[in-house]
Structure 1
Amino acid sequence: MHVTAADLWRIAPGDVRAWTAVPTGSTPEPAPLSINQRNHLASAAAGHPAIWLAATFEVEGPIDERSLTEAFKALLTRHDSLQYEFNPDTATALRHDPGHLTVRPIPLPPASNSAGVEAPRVRALLDRECAPSTFPAFALVAVSRPGRSTVVCGFDHAHVDAHSIALIARDLHALYTGAELPVAGSFAARVAGWSRPSEASGPAMASWREFLDAVDHRLPVSPVRTGVPEGGTAEQVTDRRLLADSGTVAALSEVARGSGTTTFGALLSTMASAVGEVLPVLVPVQTREPEDADAVGWFTTTVPVWADPDLARMGEHLRRARERAEPPLDQVLASLPRPLRADRRDVFMVSYIDYRRIPKTPAAQHVSGTAPADDVQLWLSRTDDGVHVRTRYPNTPGAHRGVTSLLETWSSEIRKAVRQ
């Protein structure tokens, strides 16, 4: 899985077509939402740009429209999270009966004769269609060619997480080509379970309070001096590069195991070494149970962790972070003695996915939309090639210099950890 962003996206020329889903003759029912979804909708209601995520893959020959639209309808039937209609103003959702969803074409303006316009054209379509204030907040796009065609399926973030994008690529490709799929779990059922009250006490809550007291209840800010004034934002720019090749990452994994931590722990530690200090950072943590392995939805919670230059301490830091992931995040926040403080709209976040553990799809990509930025966010993805890092940051001279320095020094610290 190639992880990129809309500002770096390239699509070969072809015949662009698009489809959406339209409800017909049924009354949707109220549906439960996760705290990530509620926060996302609250952000949209406040006027902040929504972020879409898209799964793309390739198929042989020109697009068979009937087979693709039937596969799309089957995808909506398969995953209940794609049946949701969102209301940002009330942070609520309704769920449609998939038997009453009809797939219809999206009218497109005439194509330009200029080469290389497909990505901006598709990007503009997803910007328009994948907004949480509309139903559906997703769209299907195909770029048909005689030899090899591209399929794009984009969603507002409220429908999916990064893991789900890989599943969407696999499932839609399988449904289009007639391959078999495992049974999918239910996101709605899992969220209903998260909504049950739990005891806001014990080691997990003590760990949360200990961490937040140490950072004065402030959300993490990146060590990069971006030059963005307080309260301001800048156009997003994306950097994507190979942080460490497969051999180096394999060796780093051995070093991590010898130090009692994981590959992700070693990556966080070497990042902290690149900065030269212990850093607080937010990390997304999967909440999927084994029965959710093939389910699409926003199955993550977010926890704080210390990124520590001392690799021997990272195992304990991650253990405490996993402990913080046990209680539902909304119940954690409701139990805090004082609210969290945010110095930036964006939080300093490092995400990690090992795509070698997720079924592969031909030429699959995860593409994220763009939005104004005021801090640095990092997505690490491990593939057969090694570990890639996609960095989102504001388009300022200071951020350019700081991000480039951080990534180059980080890569050097990884190689140093392996040598030592």
Structure 2
Amino acid sequence: MKLAAMADWRTAPGRVLRWSPTPAARVAAADAPVDPGPPSDLQSDHLGAFRALGRNRAWTGVATDVDGDLDRDAMTRALRRLVRTHGGFRTWFDLSGPEPVRHLVPAEAVDFEVEEVPVDGGDWDAALQEHLTSRFDEECTPDSWPGFAFGVVERPGGFGLFWGCDHAFTDGASQILLGSELADLYAAELAAPGGPEVVEGALPKPEERGDFRDYVEEQRKAATDFTAESPEVREWLRMVSSHGNRLPRFPLPLGLEEGEKAPVRIRTLTFLEGDEVTAFDRACKAAGARISGGVFAAVAAAERELAGRDHYFGMTVLSTRDRGPYSRSQGWFCTFAPVEFEVGDAGFGELAHRAQDALRHAKQLARAPIHLVVDTLLRTGTCTPADIGSPQLLSYLDLRWFPGAGRPADERGVHFTGTGRTSNASMWINRDADSLYLLAQVPDTAQARETVETYHGRLREIFRSAAG
């Protein structure tokens, strides 16, 4: 699975099929009972932004290719089983009142029908991308069911498969898991001699796919252990205060005025390949670090050279699913934490060691509920709402640990996000079996294009130098 732009997925031409809820399922969804309990903190923010904007391109998804002629009935059964299994995919939010109200479609009411839809245009790739964007924009919303869109490009001997989902019901790791799970569900439904083999252990066990709604309840209970005076919250405030009362920002000019945003442009770049990745891993271990520490060390070194920063201050995305009852669940299992360490004139090995220590500290700080942290930053006057904004993010993900890694549906897959607007140039640095590579969401301005190309180019040189 590659994290890339949606347009990087190329599938051969064919008949485009659309799966939609049956009329009876739509009626059941509209009448779905209220499901007690509030949304998660991240869902609350997302729903507030959706309501304020009326419509926002906050969807994410996956696409891949599967061998063999499509069995439409088997795919319908696989999709039905997927949605019935994961409660988040049966959820929608009523946003007509002051607070979001969650509704849950009964599992037994979920059903789908398939139809062929025209995708016109002389340029097949462009026409398909337009179709995907239109469908995801229209259907991947949190205020009606379903909050996802699914379809197939059918042709003899194989088919392309695509899925998009509103962010309220998913995150990046969930989408990567979903591509393999849906392919395995389909293979299981074929149940015919000579059909695709379902690898033992490929499908998640019940004890690995706990319901996201239970997770939300657990997180809210855990949040009661924290107050604005908790050490983790106080440390957040210290970090932000010592860096100009602002959350992290991209260190170089992006051609934007204060508070301005521009459309997102996706940029990808391979840093290391093959033996280079292995050598970089060895260099990190020799420094007492892991590749995650090495990634932050390389970024800190680039900021020192290009922006004169002798102190690294960044924000990372951390998974909250761990290896337990939610390890293969579908939902929004993320939080954020600040990463801070001295840079000075340290070499790569020392920086990697410092960065790894900082990441361990960040994981401790991530125990504090992010809503409480933000509320405290605002209430104390440490930050204004404009300062909170959309911080610069740096994420590292090792894709080799996902259950489907190395299998066809995963190897051919692309994980993508909708492209809205941004004021930063956040980076997702990922490792797979063959490479260490970058996905960045960059403001589409002339200065940003030039600045980011220089920055990413120097970052690649640092990675290669560290790998020897």
Same structural fold, with TM-score higher than 0.5 when normalized by the shorter chain: yes
Alignment match, 2:42? 36
Q: Distance in 2 between matches of 1:388 and 1:35?
A: 31
Alignment match, 1:304? 338
Change over 3 Å in CA distance of 1:275–1:35 after alignment to 2: same
How do 1:270-419 and structure 2 match up within 5 A? Answer: 270-276=298-304, 277=309, 278-289=311-322, 290-306=324-340, 309=343, 310-336=351-377, 337-338=380-381, 340-341=383-384, 342-343=386-387, 345-360=389-404, 361=407, 362=409, 363-419=412-468
Q: Deviations over 1:242-271 (max 9, x none)?
A: 122232222222222232332111111111
- Partner of 2:162: helix, strand, or coil? strand
Report if the CA contact (8 A) 2:249-2:391 is conserved.
yes
Change over 3 Å in CA distance of 1:292–1:330 after alignment to 2: same
Q: Deviations over 1:14-49 (max 9, x none)?
A: 111111334444532325422111111111122162
> How high is the sequence identity, in percent, across the aligned residues?
24
Amino acid at match of 2:339: V
Q: Distance in 1 between matches of 2:150 and 2:320?
A: 27
Which structure has the larger Rg over C-alpha atoms?
A: 2
Q: Distance in 1 between matches of 2:440 and 2:342?
A: 20
Please state how far the C-alpha of 1:408 moved relative to its aligned partner. 0.8
Q: Deviations over 1:269-302 (max 9, x none)?
A: 1111112123322211111142211111100111
Q: Distance in 2 between matches of 1:339 and 1:45?
A: 27
How do 1:7-406 and structure 2 match up within 5 A? Answer: 7-21=7-21, 22-25=25-28, 27-30=32-35, 31-47=37-53, 49-88=56-95, 90-105=99-114, 108-109=117-118, 111-112=120-121, 114-116=123-125, 117-178=127-188, 179=198, 181=203, 182-183=205-206, 184-196=209-221, 197-200=224-227, 201-276=229-304, 277=309, 278-289=311-322, 290-306=324-340, 309=343, 310-336=351-377, 337-338=380-381, 340-341=383-384, 342-343=386-387, 345-360=389-404, 361=407, 362=409, 363-406=412-455
How large is the Cα RMSD of the aligned pairs? 2.2
Please state how far the C-alpha of 1:114 moved relative to its aligned partner. 4.2
Amino acid at match of 2:108: G
Q: Deviations over 1:324-360 (max 9, x none)?
A: 1112222333344336344484321112211100022
Change over 3 Å in CA distance of 1:115–1:311 after alignment to 2: closer
Q: Distance in 2 between matches of 1:244 and 1:69?
A: 40
Alignment match, 2:347? none
Change over 3 Å in CA distance of 1:409–1:65 after alignment to 2: same
Amino acid at match of 1:321: A
- Structure 1 residues 147-156 or 308-317, which shifts more? 308-317
Q: Distance in 2 between matches of 1:156 and 1:284?
A: 19
Report if the CA contact (8 A) 1:380-1:390 is conserved.
yes
Q: Deviations over 1:369-412 (max 9, x none)?
A: 11122221111121011211111111111101111111110011
Report if the CA contact (8 A) 2:400-2:432 is conserved.
yes
Amino acid at match of 1:16: V
What TM-score, normalized by structure 1, do the two folds share?
0.93
- Partner of 2:136: helix, strand, or coil? helix
Q: Distance in 2 between matches of 1:170 and 1:412?
A: 34
Amino acid at match of 2:217: A
Q: Deviations over 1:120-148 (max 9, x none)?
A: 22222112111223321101110111122
Report if the CA contact (8 A) 1:44-1:88 is conserved.
no
Amino acid at match of 1:353: L
- Structure 1 residues 38-47 or 202-211, which shifts more? 202-211
Structure 2 stretches lacking a partner, 5+ long:
189-197, 344-350
Please state how far the C-alpha of 1:7 moved relative to its aligned partner. 4.6
Q: Distance in 1 between matches of 2:231 and 2:357?
A: 14
Please state how far the C-alpha of 1:113 moved relative to its aligned partner. 5.1
Alignment match, 1:4? 4
Report if the CA contact (8 A) 2:16-2:118 is conserved.
no
- Structure 1 residues 312-321 or 138-147, which shifts more? 312-321
What TM-score, normalized by structure 2, do the two folds share?
0.84
Q: Deviations over 1:137-182 (max 9, x none)?
A: 1011101111221111110111111110111111111110003622
Amino acid at match of 2:294: A
- Partner of 1:331: helix, strand, or coil? helix
Structure 1 stretches lacking a partner, 5+ long:
none
